[in-house]
């Protein structure tokens, strides 16, 4: 059995500890011939910062292109941003209401949110298409965040698909919302590593900065991993998308890493 990891990490990057958070934990597990792809986009019109524009888009789009032998098993929409939350948005003019919500706070004036909706039926119906998120408006709440460069908004869809040409594997979806002060350790449990060939880990992270390479490292079992040139070892969270090669995903990341050399058969 092959080993595939999918970690939906809602991670906020900050220099101080958070006041509250929801620990990242297992949300869903798939066993069989599965893999995944993630699409999404930022609402930031430029990388945030004290000298950047204090405005944010209310709509953005991304394309889904699955092959004919890839059958959708699940599609999970996540969106996040500054403030206490915008939990009613639209996708391709279809109203979406958050089914689960997450929150975190760096201090009394800087609160952040994330939201989830299972849109499997929508993506199964629309299939390969341009997916447009709209009515996601944070302009009225970001002003207090702009001076410290913590204003952001973005969204992503994680599409888990079945493909009979794939080897047997296990695919785990983890989610939560945790801030990263100087160090954060996350234990990913409920694994059954019978074969580490082509094992991978992917994540969605918020509020990373391409211009701030402050030794933001991602480690698996104590080993620093990287994916150059998109994700150098000292700046893992830098506004990039591993699936498209985009480098302008301002203040969010949709990234994936091969970790077959970083996990061991028998890991749980």
For 194-250, write each residue's pLDDT tens digit. Answer: 556 678 888 888 887 776 656 677 777 777 877 788 888 877 778 899 999 999 999
Q: What are the DSSP calls for the chain, one per residue?
A: -EEEEEE--EEEE-SS--SB-EEEEEEEEEEESEEEEEEEEE-BSS--STTS-S-B-S-EEEE----TT-EEEEEEEEEEEESS---EEEETTEEEE-SEEEEEEEETTEEEEEEEEE-HHHHHHH-SSEEEEES---TTT-TTTGGGT---EEEEEEEEEE-TTSPPEEEEEEEEEEEESS-------S---S--TT-EEEEEEES--TT--S-B-EEETTEEE-BTTTB-TTBS-SS-BTTTTBS--TTEEEEEEE-TTTS-TT--
Q: Write out pLDDT tens, residues 142-195.
A: 999 999 899 999 999 999 999 999 988 889 999 888 776 665 666 677 766 655
Q: Which whole number is the average pLDDT over 50-65? A: 94
- Residue 5 reports pLDDT greater than 50: no
Please write the tens of the pLDDT for every residue from 120-138. Answer: 999 999 999 999 999 999 9
In this predicted structure, what is the pLDDT of residue 17?
40
> Looking at residue 160, what is its pLDDT?
95
The more confident residue out of 228 and 57 is 57
Share of the chain above pLDDT 70, in %: 80
The pLDDT of residue 21 is 63
- Whether pLDDT at 114 is above 50: yes
Mean pLDDT of the chain: 84
Mean pLDDT in residue range 76-92 = 97
Domain boundaries, the chain: 2-258
> Is the pLDDT at 80 greater than 90, yes or no?
yes
> 252 with 205: CB under 8 angstroms?
yes
**Between residues 12 and 256, the one the model is more confident about:** 256
Which pLDDT belongs to residue 109?
82
Structure confidence at residue 3 (pLDDT): 42
pTM over 0.85: yes
Return the pLDDT at 133: 99
- pLDDT on residue 248: 93
**How high is the pLDDT of residue 184?**
66
What is the full DSSP assignment across 6-26?
A: EE--EEEE-SS--SB-EEEEE
- Give percent above pLDDT 90 in the chain: 52
């Amino acid at each position: 059995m092959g080993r595939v990891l999918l970690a939906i990490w809602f991670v906020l990057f900050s220099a101080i500890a958070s006041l509250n958070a929801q620990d990242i934990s297992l949300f869903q597990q798939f066993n069989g011939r599965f893999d995944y792809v993630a699409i999404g986009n930022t609402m930031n019109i430029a990388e945030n910062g004290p000298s950047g524009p204090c405005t944010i888009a209310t709509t953005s789009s991304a394309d889904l292109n699955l092959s004919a032998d890839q059958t959708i098993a699940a599609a999970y929409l996540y969106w996040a941003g500054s403030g206490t939350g915008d939990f009613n948005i639209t996708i391709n003019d279809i109203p979406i209401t958050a089914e689960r919500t997450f929150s975190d706070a760096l201090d009394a004036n800087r609160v952040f949110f994330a939201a989830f909706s299972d849109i499997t039926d929508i993506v199964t119906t629309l299939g390969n298409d341009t997916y447009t998120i709209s009515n996601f408006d944070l302009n009225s709440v970001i002003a207090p965040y702009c001076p410290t460069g913590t204003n952001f908004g973005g969204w992503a869809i994680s599409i888990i698909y079945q493909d009979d040409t794939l080897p047997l594997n296990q695919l785990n979806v983890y989610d939560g919302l945790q801030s990263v002060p100087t160090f954060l350790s996350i234990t990913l449990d409920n694994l059954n590593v019978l074969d580490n060939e082509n094992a991978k880990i992917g994540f969605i992270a918020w509020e990373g900065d391409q211009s701030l390479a402050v030794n933001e490292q991602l480690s698996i079992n104590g080993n620093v991993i990287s994916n150059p040139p998109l994700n150098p070892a000292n700046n893992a969270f830098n506004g990039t998308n591993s699936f498209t090669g985009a480098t302008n995903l301002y203040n969010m990341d949709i990234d994936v890493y091969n970790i077959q050399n970083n996990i061991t058969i028998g890991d749980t």
